[in-house]
Amino acid sequence: MPIQRRIGTAAPLGACVLLAGCSGWQSALDPQGPQARDLSTTFWTFTAALGLVWVLTMLALALALWRARGARDAPLESTPRPQGRAIIVTAAASGATVAILFALAGLSFAMQRRVTDAPPAGLSVAVTGYQWWWHIAYEGPEPAVGLVTANELHLPAGVPVRIRLASADVIHSLWVPNLFGKQDLIPGIDNAVELVASRPSVLRGQCAEFCGLQHAHMALTVVVQSKAEFDAWAAAQRQPAQPPADDKRRAGQAVFAARSCPVCHSVRGTDAAGAVGPDLTHVASRRRIASGLLPMTRSALASWIADPHAHKPGVHMPATPLEPHDAEALLDYLEGLT
Ligand code: CUA
């Protein structure tokens, strides 16, 4: 294939690959709320204005080079008329530059005020960053009070939400690009973001501040639901775990209790009250485990429990080698935590 044809084939393909990253469930260019829409508008206005400046500059450069083509007898000798015109052009360009800079600075300032000036929150959620997962506690109003979960943030569509941010160890940063900009979680400092998610969708957030070995595997699933669906979800999540329904699950709960699991994990309604790792009361209702790294499937759970370090080197959870029948019973128990 001739090189031109190869480039002709590869260029649109490359453009598709690049643009594919600009939409979807983790993209600031696919805004799903007023705050993200303001940020997106700011981004595109800056891109358009600065792109136009670049194009005009390149055209002026091309024009200057074209007009200066050919050798002159005395290239360094100045002539009064072109010099006078150059002063006018330079002054006009400087004036335009200052005007554009002030306009963009004004836009940036106005958008920042709009983004941080959210309506009064109808729901408050405390999100705490741990190496490397997210602790989520709903603070009110009813029926969300007392609801604790991990790594999967549910939000009611159209309801202003205040997300309070804290860290249990190092600095993290919460970023759900479809909803808002990055906001740091800093040990000892109260931080917050206020936002509205416009419509039901499933989005992906990501820790955006390097926080150690598994920073890249500190993802957050964000599920935006209708108010009725959110209320139903919250009511179910607020319940303690259902007692195991059969012998195998009871055996699984005994395995869970006998191993080191309850030292770190809580299962509300049982004696397991660890506060170091994610709350597991309704773990099987979540879409993913290991802070977004693995799907919530039996095989992924089995593999994660047997050797979490194979998936997430440096993770604080120890490997838990189990006899096959104990492992199966434990998996039955965990899958029953819906
Ligand atoms: Cu937490 Cu990066």
User: What is the tens place of the pLDDT at every residue in 88-118?
Assistant: 888 998 999 999 999 999 999 999 888 888 7
Per the DSSP assignment, residues forming a β-bridge with 175 are 206
Q: Which atom of ligand 1 is nearest to the CA of 208?
A: 2
Angstrom distance (rounded) from CA 93 to CA 64: 15
The rounded Å distance from CA 132 to ligand 1 centre is 6
The mean of the pLDDT values for the chain is: 88
Residue 86: its pLDDT value, please? 80
The rounded Å distance from CA 54 to ligand 1 centre is 36
pLDDT at residue 67 tops 50? yes
Residue 55: its pLDDT value, please? 96
Q: Which atom of ligand 1 is nearest to the CA of 132?
A: 1
Q: Which atom of ligand 1 is nearest to the CA of 171?
A: 1
Which has the closest alpha carbon to 337: 237, 209, 191?
Answer: 237
Angstrom distance (rounded) from CA 198 to CA 30: 12
Q: Which atom of ligand 1 is nearest to the CA of 210?
A: 2
Angstrom distance (rounded) from CA 271 to CA 253: 11
Is residue 303 a contact partner of residue 311, using CB atoms and an 8 Å limit? Answer: yes
Say how many CA atoms lie within 13 Å of 245 toward its Cβ.
7
The rounded Å distance from CA 32 to ligand 1 centre is 23
**Residues with C-beta less than 6 Å from any ligand 1 atom:** 129, 132, 172, 207, 209-211, 215, 218
pLDDT at residue 78 tops 70? no
Angstrom distance (rounded) from CA 298 to CA 328: 9
Angstrom distance (rounded) from CA 137 to CA 121: 15
Asked if the bond preceding 141 is cis, omega within 30° of 0, the reply is yes
Asked if the bond preceding 132 is cis, omega within 30° of 0, the reply is yes
**Chain segment 284-333, per-residue pLDDT in tens:** 999 999 999 999 999 999 999 999 999 999 999 999 999 999 999 999 99
Nearest protein CA to atom 1 of ligand 1, as residue: 172
Residue 3: its pLDDT value, please? 47
pLDDT at residue 73 tops 80? no
pLDDT at residue 10 tops 60? no
Residue 143: its pLDDT value, please? 52
Residues of the chain with pLDDT > 70, as a percent, come to 87
Residue 170: its pLDDT value, please? 97
Residue 144: its pLDDT value, please? 53
Residue 7: its pLDDT value, please? 47
pLDDT at residue 157 tops 50? yes
**Chain segment 228-267, per-residue pLDDT in tens:** 999 999 999 999 998 998 999 999 999 999 998 999 999 9
Top mean-pLDDT range of 21-25, 48-52, 83-87, 119-123: 48-52
pTM (two decimals) = 0.83
Residues with Cβ within 8 Å of residue 119, at least 6 apart in sequence: 160, 194, 196
Residue 23: its pLDDT value, please? 59
Angstrom distance (rounded) from CA 60 to CA 53: 10
Residue 50: its pLDDT value, please? 94
